[in-house]
A = this chain, B = another copy of it.
Amino acid sequence: MKRYWPLLLPLACLAQPRPPALDSPELHPDRTVTFRLAAPKAAEVRLTGDLVKAPVALEKDDKGVWSVTLGPLQPDQYSYRFAVDGITVIDPSNQARPATVLEVPGDGPMFYDLRPTPHGTVQERWYSSKTLDTARRAYIYTPPNYEKSSDRYPVLYLLHGAGGDDSGWTESGHSNLILDNLMADGKLKPLIVVMPYGYAYPPISPLAAGADAMKRQRSGFERDLIDDLIPFVQANYRAYSDRDHRAIAGLSLGGGQALGIGLSHLDVFSRVAGFSAALGAVTSPQAGGLDFHALVTDSKKVNAQLKLLWVGCGTDDTLYKSNQEFSGMLKASGVQHTFRSSEGAHTWLVWRRYLNEVAPLLFPVT
């Protein structure tokens, strides 16, 4: 069920420019499909994969867009790719940011490496969302020995970025290994981490488009989190049920969500962190964002409720200035917080380090 949804939300921000939008693959009502690729300089483009027995040539139009229409196809899930002058190319209209990983090992284990210590478990868990009238999936990390223990644990809700999904924090973020290592080193109390899917409506939904899409996504996710996911976690895991043992953090889109939802639900969360947060929806009331007046009028109450408010951003991030300004707003309003300025851009290199740095601050070892 892994799907990397294309990026539709206006609050999205990514460090790399996105390829021009072509409709590919375009599925027609009769189950024929048109594949398209812009490759003006290519001499030959072919399509390969599950749906053809042999490579099929595409034809170029006068704008340099290659295309072919195949089918009708039987209902199924087909994998495919293009060969452009013999080089394999992922359809850029179907997956925004394909990449592979280069691992440069350290002299010893890095903070995200698998070490010979006890390991937690990651679950892909379905829950029923009354808010959104559908089954939704969350990745849930339980700490080492959870299964054999009868203890209760604090919970961190950890949100992914735009274009990602609930698998991102484990697959790209190695959150489970980072937390395993912190616990093995005695730097972190055992905790449960819940990594939800951050879109109320996936891009294929009609509700993901249109003028109110951003507001609808924001409020739909917020209600699903508060009214459905948290009660599910409380009913199915040995989690403390009070706000003192509940934190929310996230990166980019999820950073904006964590700050926005966290600060407006201080009855639910006591610790809030934004990593390279996309703040448009947080500070814009038109987008259903945060009402800053609540903070301004009673910062003493907010300070008394907040056990941690942490805002971090890399100085090479295009969002750095807006995070710095947000910190300034908090300061001017008398809201205590940590502003963390670090090297780096809008990438996992930064977010893995932030998790490693912030997790021990959330629920300190006493």
A interface vs B, CB < 8 Å? 1-3, 16, 19, 25, 27, 31, 33, 37-43, 48-51, 53, 71, 73-81, 84-92, 94-95, 97-107, 110, 112, 114, 116, 119, 121-126, 134-135, 147, 170-172, 174, 176-177, 236, 316, 345, 347-349
Residues of B within 8 A of A171 (CB): 1-2
A100 touches B88 (CB 8 A): no
- Do A88 and B92 contact each other (CB < 8 Å), given the known contacts A31-B104, A102-B51, A125-B121? yes
Question: Could you pull out 18 A-B pairs where Cβ atoms are within 8 angstroms?
Answer: A1-B171, A1-B176, A1-B177, A33-B102, A41-B86, A49-B99, A74-B104, A75-B104, A76-B103, A77-B174, A79-B99, A80-B99, A88-B92, A119-B135, A121-B123, A122-B124, A123-B123, A123-B124
A75 touches B105 (CB 8 A): yes
Report Cα–Cα, A53/B348, bound state, in Å.
14
- Do A75 and B121 contact each other (CB < 8 Å), given the known contacts A87-B39, A345-B53? no
B1 touches A174 (CB 8 A): yes
Besides A39-B85, A77-B348, A123-B124, 18 other CB < 8 A contacts? A1-B177, A2-B171, A31-B104, A33-B102, A38-B87, A41-B43, A50-B345, A51-B102, A73-B104, A76-B110, A77-B101, A78-B349, A81-B99, A88-B98, A90-B98, A91-B100, A94-B102, A147-B236
Per a CB cutoff under 8 Å, which of B16, B51, B86, B126 touches A48?
A: B16
Residues of B within 8 A of A147 (CB): 236
Q: How far is the CB of A63 from chain B (nearest CB, A)?
A: 14
Report Cα–Cα, A123/B50, bound state, in Å.
29
